[in-house]
């Protein structure tokens, strides 16, 4: 199976359709699939349900898809740092399914593991629990959360090979490994595409069995999402 594609547009060809669900890796602007997001924007695909920790910022990450109004719904944990998100949500133009961060990560992991649901104490007694099934274990109340899967998962790694084996770097690992398992099709972009056999098997974070397509990305911008400095 040929997994290596020449660019992001080619890697997404035939996978996209209006109303689809897309997982997008990253945390803030760290470890986001920049090239694949741009290709998704340029495709014009509409009505997207985007599953991601956050929606980037106004001019980067998934914020680019909000600018073009291609996202219908966000399934997220953190929604700050994005004025476009705020305006669209408050105007009733964007749906939001809000999740505690650990719950979101576990929902994605569960989906990738074929687990349809699980019980957690997080959110019990809050708005998060509204409308959800409750169950008592050992005298403690838990709420039912469902696993998540996507039509396509877009992930970013540091290194990868032609078989789709991936290695992430430091905190850029974040949501990427879970999302790689939870997509019906997973497309990866890497900073460095290396020969098969050059990755130490003990250092591979995502086995290639989960990855259908892979590209070498270009022109990565190492941005700081929010800069905090001390006064001189």
Mean pLDDT of 14-30: 94
3-class state of residue 81 by DSSP: coil
Q: In this predicted structure, which of 10-19, 33-42, 77-86, 184-193 has the lowest mean pLDDT? A: 77-86
CATH 3.40.1080.10 is the classification of domain 8-216: yes
More confident residue, 147 or 81: 147
H helices of the chain, in order, are 8-12, 34-43, 63-67, 83-90, 101-112, 176-182
Average pLDDT over residues 145-173: 96
Nearest residue to 195 via CA among 149, 160, 155:
160
DSSP, collapsed to helix, strand or coil, labels residue 39 as: helix
pLDDT in tens, 24-63: 999 988 999 999 999 999 999 999 999 999 988 888 889 9
Is there a contact between 99 and 75 (Cβ–Cβ < 8 Å)?
yes
What is the pTM for the complete model shown?
A: 0.92
pLDDT 10s digits, 196-223 = 999 999 999 999 999 999 999 987 777 7
Between 77 and 81, residue with greater pLDDT: 77
Rounded Cα–Cα distance for residues 2 and 79 (Å): 37
* Burial of residue 122 (number of CB atoms within 10 Å: 0-12, 13-18, 19+): middle
Contact status, residue 75 vs residue 104, Cβ threshold 8 Å? yes
Percentage of the chain with pLDDT > 70?
98
Q: Tell me the pLDDT band of 229, cut-offs 50, 70 and 90.
A: confident
Please say whether the beta carbons of 63 and 82 come within 8 A. yes
SS3 at position 209: helix
36, two tokens: 């694949």
In total, the chain counts a number of residues equal to: 232
């Amino acid at each position: 199976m040929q997994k290596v594609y020449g660019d992001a547009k080619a890697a997404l060809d035939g996978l996209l359709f209006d109303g689809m669900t897309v997982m997008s890796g990253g945390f803030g602007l760290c470890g986001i699939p920049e090239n694949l997001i741009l290709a998704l924007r340029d495709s014009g695909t509409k009505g997207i349900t985007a599953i991601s920790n956050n929606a980037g910022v106004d001019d980067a990450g998934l914020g680019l898809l909000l600018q073009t109004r291609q996202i219908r719904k966000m399934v997220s944990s953190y929604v700050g740092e994005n004025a476009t998100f705020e305006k669209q949500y408050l105007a009733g133009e964007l749906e939001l399914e809000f999740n505690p961060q650990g719950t979101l990560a576990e929902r994605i992991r569960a989906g990738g593991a074929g687990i349809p649901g699980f019980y957690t104490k997080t959110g019990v007694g809050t708005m998060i629990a509204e409308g959800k099934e409750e169950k008592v274990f050992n005298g403690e109340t838990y709420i039912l959360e469902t696993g998540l899967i996507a039509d396509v998962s877009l992930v970013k790694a540091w290194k990868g090979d032609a078989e789709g084996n991936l290695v992430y770097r430091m905190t850029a690992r974040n949501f990427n490994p879970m999302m790689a398992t939870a997509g019906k099709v997973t497309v990866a972009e890497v900073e460095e595409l290396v020969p098969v056999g050059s990755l130490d098997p003990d250092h591979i974070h995502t086995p290639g069995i989960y990855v259908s397509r892979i590209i070498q990305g270009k022109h990565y911008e190492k941005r700081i999402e929010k800069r905090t400095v001390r006064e001189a």
